[in-house]
Amino acid sequence: MKLTLYRRDNRKRNARRARRTLIWLGGVAMLSILGFAAYRWHAPLAAAAAAAPAMFFENRYFFVREIQVRGGEKVGGGEIVAMAGLRHGMNLWKIEPRAIEKKIAKHPWVRRVLVRREFPRRVVIEVEERAPKAIVALGQLYYVDADGLIFKEVGAGENVNFPLLTGLRPEQLARTNPTLRGRIQDAVRLGDLMAKDSRTLSEIHFDESGRLVVYTTAFPVALKMGWGDWDAKLKRLDRVLALWKGNEERLASLDVSFNDQVVARLRKVQGFNGSRVQK
């Protein structure tokens, strides 16, 4: 009885062993086939893998179909595109926004520029232009912006209805001078503040003592402003001008550079020339 059971267990064990052997042989055969296939097709597969990125990036789907220029008024869109070196049909992947920005930023009217790619087919160029705030005479006339930067010669037919900056020497402006540039910025800001009160300036003068003297288009009175604290000085100036309304031609100058008073200097009338202090 035991012998019979023993033989039956051997048969089961032999069957399991045979199945394991077959599985092992099948695995070896499969690995051999895969190995051969990999060896046989290695070069074509490697070439296909290498070509795949090129096929993707060179696809006509990414060729530029649209170029937008936004914000340009003084500089035409065609001029901006020409400076950028862009054209339809270029590969969008090969366009370098930073390099294009450097090219466009060289134009005197351009204050800031941003270039971006909008996939799959568009390039957008956003331009912020400089706004003239004054004109300085240095042999020729040049525009000055709110940053105090002298950025462009005034061309034929261009707008000249801006305050004229005087008293500045060419040698002062030829070199980088942060202090002077800050003063020009401050002077331009004063011009903007006075324009809001309908007191448009015709001239902003830097006198020899370093003070700022301005003239309005309304009457030829020298307004000696000194530097800084524009809001308080303009309030004092408005109070005094209100007292002299209709008689401004009698005034030679108003000095508001003091903290608590305005000094009015009168024009010579019938042999009299004097000053009057008003608080």
| Spatial separation of the C-alpha atoms in residues 199 and 191, rounded to whole Å | 9
Span 61-129 CATH architecture:
Roll (3.10)
What confidence score (pLDDT) does residue 6 get? 38
- Confirm if 224 and 253 have CB atoms less than 8 A apart: yes
What confidence score (pLDDT) does residue 210 get? 77
The residue written with tokens 């305005």 in the block is: 262
Segments of the chain with pLDDT less than 70? 1-56, 174-175, 269-279
| AA letter at 133 | K
Q: Which DSSP letter does residue 119 get? A: T
What confidence score (pLDDT) does residue 173 get? 76
- Confirm if 129 and 111 have CB atoms less than 8 A apart: yes
Cβ count near 224 (within 10 Å): 22
The residue written with tokens 């400076």 in the block is: 83
Domain 132-278: which CATH number of 3.40.1030.10, 3.20.20.140, 3.10.450.50, 3.40.50.11690:
3.40.50.11690
pTM value is 0.71
The residue ranges of DSSP E strands in the chain, in sequence order, are 66-70, 110-118, 122-129, 132-138, 140-145, 150-153, 164-166, 201-206, 212-216, 222-226, 251-255, 262-266, 275-278
What confidence score (pLDDT) does residue 46 get? 54
| Spatial separation of the C-alpha atoms in residues 39 and 191, rounded to whole Å | 81
